[in-house]
A and B are shown apart, each in its own frame.
Chain A
């Protein structure tokens, strides 16, 4: 394995691992504060048990997210020192703000997890809100730094030297808003459906269980709302790509020719040697319309740039199809659930619907991984779009395959443990819930 490939593999693996935990650490607090807020409002002890149960899962996920995030902040330098020497000062503002937001998240999570009996009820709920705000802001800031790599702004280059750095302009680059919005919605969407799916599964085994009914209702509402909003955010992203990163868009769509009235391709396999996309279902002129509100707008094709400046088209196109497909299934689940709930004025707990939502549980996370594949692989061969090539950013350190394998083994091991622990948490809660909801309320009220 050559060094550049090993470095890219290590970075991709670290990000793919971290993002699951980061998304949970960001979105689970929303479910927790909703449950705890409902407890404060209704005094129904089931909500309190629910908040505590979700908090346990969050604690495990947050800890692994925090340490794997630390690894990433070092890996920026360990693997890409040239990139950091160049970009560090320019994108320092979002990273500094991220540090601050993460600090608040970690402090208030400590209070939230261990302070149930130590702080007043509303202070505890406030701590949960601070965890939510801190986590969401740190997610936004990190994505902002990534957005800068896609659409670098806030500096000029004079004779090869970076000058006129404007950290605020760099932070507010053209991709920041659309990427941060898309990621935030994705995190809440993935976590909402994952939680809804798990509780749907448990509800099917124990239909009368009040705990799982309430959990399912909260999680499905969050996931459903996000599923409705996400296509709008995706549309904003597509329009931004058409304007600022047409090659990434062309790779996502398998669009080889520059043409007016370009079709939207569903599925299909791009052939990078023959420079065609085969077996796709084409909707005529739809791509032009979606990106420009004009059926005859011109869309740039991959053939317009030399081969060495194109991203790996097949990976980007297929990852994009996977992301959209996952989003569409969750959108359907959200719409059906919302429609049934509205018609019947009650939670839809039909067997087939619970089974459907159970199947949706992993889709949000698959969509997140696929989406990041699109944005990262789609930017190649550049680490800073049109400015610095990934190959020029890598460390001279030899034998990078060793840390790559080490971290891969470590992360696989941690993933297995986390899955075992979370499973145990759920089934423990199932046993506990079927008998002791009443007892628990006396202890904690």
Chain B
């Protein structure tokens, strides 16, 4: 009933959601390492490290899945994006390299306090830059200024208010996820309070960045704006997302952390889905759609089979990883 590329696009959207909820939260952990303050700054950093050590590398692979599916299934879109957005993607990659390396160096280089702090700083700054550049890239794709047939100027599609608003929006989402997860990583009430406060700040920032992004989309990404506001599903969808967001803030406020750990990821997932639907059927607005860049079915069908087999193998493997390291009490 749906063409094969539709299913691939769906798998990519789901992968992006999981990447945000897992890998995004790991970046958010780096943000809170950067902003670790007060008498418990050291304990905050230790908690963040302990929370992400066993899982960040596995979480990171979702990004590779998205890239591979993009170049296999939508090769022209991949070529267009990576040509026009060479600079933000390169900055994102440098962030990815420094984040991962600094994190592992810090773990195995605890010789002196000073070097430890230095790696911490690199890890934290790289963790903060990377999601911004990821968001800038996703925002730039929606601006309608990238064309596959004319050579790009390499700057203007991304160095604009709307892509950077999306970049900061992404950063606040990562920070919110991390803060909420971290409330459940410790039994220490004072540390929980630290991350509760951070979660509240992040939640309010998410609201502000959502509003700003929507405002800027009028000029910066008109096609997305239409998708977000002028279709029959958009009203109810925004209401649901808004209700979940407010409910999540209430749960954090009430210290109902388990509830918050369900609501906040749900909120993030709804935001990503809302963006995905608004973007559909375009992969790079305005010229490239999922259908006009799709590889032939002879390519897509085997890839979907691999995705299916992958799901069967990865769900239990991921489940085991998370049960081993994230089950409490």
List residues of chain A with CB under 8 Å of any chain B CB: 56, 59-60, 62-64, 66-71, 73-74, 76-78, 81-82, 84-86, 88-90, 92-93, 95-100, 102-104, 106-111, 113-115, 118-119, 130, 164-168, 395-398, 403, 406-407, 410, 414, 417, 421, 424-425
Contact = CB atoms under 8 A, between A and B. Distances in A.
10 contacts: A67-B99, A69-B64, A70-B96, A74-B89, A81-B78, A84-B82, A85-B75, A89-B295, A96-B69, A130-B317
Interface stretch (B189-197, B232-240, B250-258, B298-306): B298-306
B57 A62 contact: yes
Contact of B67 (A74, A103, A396): A74
Interface in B269-321: 295-296, 298-299, 302-303, 306-307, 309-310, 313-314, 317-318, 320-321
Nearest to A110: B54
A77 B82 contact: yes
Nearest to A77: B82
B79 A110 contact: no
Interface of B: 53-55, 57-58, 60-61, 63-65, 67-69, 71-73, 75-76, 78-83, 86, 89-90, 93-94, 96-101, 103-105, 107-109, 111, 151, 154, 295-296, 298-299, 302-303, 306-307, 309-310, 313-314, 317-318, 320-321, 324-325
Contact of A70 (B53, B63, B309, B324): B63
A425 B154 CA distance: 44
A406 B264 CA distance: 37
Nearest to A108: B317
Contacts, number: 200
Contacts of A77: 71, 78-79, 81-83
B298 A421 contact: no
A99 B313 contact: no
A99 B64 contact: yes
B104 A59 contact: yes
B97 A99 contact: no
Given A71-B93, A93-B303, A114 B325 contact: yes
**For chain A, what secondary structure do more than half of its interface residues adopt (helix, strand, loop), or is it mixed?**
helix
Contacts of B64: 69-70, 73, 99, 102
Contacts of A59: 104, 107-108
B100 A85 contact: no
A421 B75 CA distance: 40
A106 B309 contact: no
Given A99-B65, A103-B65, A88 B104 contact: no
B282 to A, nearest CB: 18
Contacts of A407: 94
Contacts of B86: 78, 395, 397, 403
Given A78-B90, A110-B321, A417-B101, A424 B53 contact: no
Given A77-B79, A84-B79, A397-B86, A100 B306 contact: yes
